[in-house]
Amino acid sequence: MVPNFFYDKFLAGIALICVFQLMGIQHWFKLLMVAALACSGFGCGNNSMARKPAYVNQRRVLDSSEQRKYSDSLQYFFDALLNKKGFSGGILVAKNGVVLYEHYQGFTNAAKTDSIDAETPFHVASTSKTFTSTAIMQLVRSGKLALNDSIQTFFKDFPYKGVTIKHLLNHSSGLPYYANFMLRYGWNKNITATNADVLNTLHNHQPPLDFPTGTAFKYSNTNFVLLALVVEKVSGQYFPTYVKDSIFTPAGMLNSYILNPTNTDRNMMSWSGSGRPYNFEYLDAIYGDKNVFTTCRDLMRYDSAIAYEHLLPATYLQQAWTPYFRDGHYRDSIEHYGLGWRLKVFNDSLKIPYHNGWWHGNNAVFQRLIADTAVIIVTGNRMNNRIYSAPMAANVFRPYFNVSFSEMEALQETIDTPLSKRPLVLPSTRNAAKKVVNRSSKKNTRKPK
């Protein structure tokens, strides 16, 4: 019987020959990129299986050649995707507790005198929802609330009957987005709004639901604003304090905090893609849906704390990672939403819990590759659509996404279209590649959250 690693190398060689013929020698850079990803996916050059693997904390220790293989592939990938494309932020990819790739560039101030480094906290926007979900599930575990509890259990005058904790977590409440109704009902933009202000506006004006509760999915930040208030009501702690004591500290996230009305001086400026600065605005102190500021290394610690069940037992995490709705905002059948987590569901045994983020000029990716005990983290303070293609780096570990590098480049022109599970097709001519670009440019370009 032929050993697996020889068979893998044979397949990789055949694949590279096909790529060479389809793309032509003049496309040497793209060939190099595909080669790097293919080698990583198929295990080229890895002789470690000839030795008995060592384990630390139940995770296999990566040998030096394996680390170098992954690191080189990730370097090629992120150089092409972000590092030479106006990126300002941080990138970290780790596997089995080992950092394989880490990179920082850009500045935190307009004068460009304060360089971004490993200790720079970034606003990770909607990635914050995973922390709110974790807080809620901790309270479920302690018996202080249940997923099917009505919100009226905690706020007796809440005007919408039948809305439960679970409806808020999986965005099936039908509650409209607060940014769309606060101004409509006369909110003064010169006054910083709070979570309580959002609740009071719902109570006083009762904007209509977008759909009957529980009948559909629609992403609404209002859901997580209310969840933060539930955490406060049940725990007796200020939400930023609860998260610090129950999540940040146990996970070792010492450079992380939640922006709120008491510490607005800790807000960090961000920029649009064209360089326009975003200053502090009236919705910027609302938390639960956003406002976690953290570093790439702290997010790696968060990933480890999740993996080792320091924050929640696995049974509660599995509830959070159960796909409740397919997210129709994305044109990809693998995209679902759980309880405060986005999910890429490939099959019954392979799924990726993750959450992107966007607020003002901040955008982020936090993707947990459970099957590969790896994590992909990107944070940015200058809006860069290409950040949302960072999950493609998962192909370094296994072929999650069956797309060519040419197609990936085209899809980077959009920001809300995850990569589809379609057969690998490499355009063999410039015209074919151009068609891929044209198809991508016609797609919706709303920002993912």
Q: What is each CA distance from 53 to 41, 56, 61, 398, 440, in whole angstroms?
A: 19, 10, 7, 20, 44
What is the enclosing helix (H) or strand (E) of 199? helix 195-205
CA dihedral 120, 292, 95, 398 (to 10 degrees): -120
First-to-last CA distance in the chain? 48
Q: What is each CA distance from 212 to 52, 164, 208, 230, 340, in whole angstroms?
A: 57, 13, 10, 22, 20
Instruction: List pLDDT tens digits, range 370-401.
Output: 999 999 999 999 999 999 999 999 999 999 98
Residue 328: the pLDDT is 79
Distance CA 242, CA 144 (A): 14
Could you give the domains of the chain? 57-441 (3.40.710.10)
The amino acid at 247: I
Q: Among all chains, which residue has been given the structure tokens 């040998």? A: 63
Neighbouring C-beta atoms of residue 278, cutoff 10 Å = 18
**DSSP state letters, 186-198:** T--TTS---HHHH
- pLDDT in 10s for each residue of the chain, 449 residues: 444 444 444 444 544 444 444 444 444 444 444 444 444 443 444 444 445 667 766 778 888 999 999 999 999 999 999 999 999 999 999 999 999 999 999 999 999 999 999 999 999 999 999 999 999 999 999 999 999 999 999 999 999 999 999 999 999 999 999 999 999 999 999 999 999 999 999 999 999 999 999 999 999 999 999 999 999 999 999 999 999 999 999 999 999 999 999 999 999 999 999 999 999 999 999 999 999 999 999 999 999 999 999 999 999 999 999 999 998 777 778 999 999 999 999 988 899 999 999 999 999 999 999 999 999 999 999 999 999 999 999 999 999 987 655 555 554 444 333 333 332 232 332 333 333 334 333 443 344 45
CB environment 320-340: b (16+ within 10 A), e (fewer): bbebbbbbebbebebbbbbbb
Residue 360: the pLDDT is 96
Residue 352: the pLDDT is 97
Residue 417: the pLDDT is 36
Name residue 122's beta-bridge partners.
Answer: 294
Long-range contacts of 56-61 (CB under 8 A, 24+ apart): 56/97, 57/97, 57/308, 59/96, 59/97, 59/373, 60/96, 61/96
Q: What is each CA distance from 247 to 75, 144, 235, 395, in whole angstroms?
A: 31, 17, 14, 30
From 153, 177, 150, select the one nearest 166 (Cα to Cα): 150
Name residue 379's beta-bridge partners.
Answer: 90, 364
* Rounded (to 5) percent helix, strand, coil in the chain: 40, 15, 45
Residue 59: the pLDDT is 79
Residue 408: the pLDDT is 57
Helical pair 4-23 and 28-42, crossing angle rounded to 10 deg: 160
Kind of pairing between the strands at 257-258 and 59-60 = unpaired
Distance CA 302, CA 131 (A): 9
Residue 18: the pLDDT is 46
Neighbouring C-beta atoms of residue 156, cutoff 10 Å = 8
Q: Which residues contact 36 (CB under 8 A, 6 or more apart)?
A: 72, 73, 76, 77, 396
The alpha carbon of 116 is separated from its chain's Cα centroid by a whole number of angstroms, namely 20
Residue 1: the pLDDT is 44
- Write down the pTM of the prediction: 0.81
Q: Which residues contact 108 (CB under 8 A, 6 or more apart)?
A: 114, 115, 116, 120, 268, 269, 381
Instruction: List pLDDT tens digits, range 75-106.
Output: 999 999 999 999 999 999 999 999 999 999 99
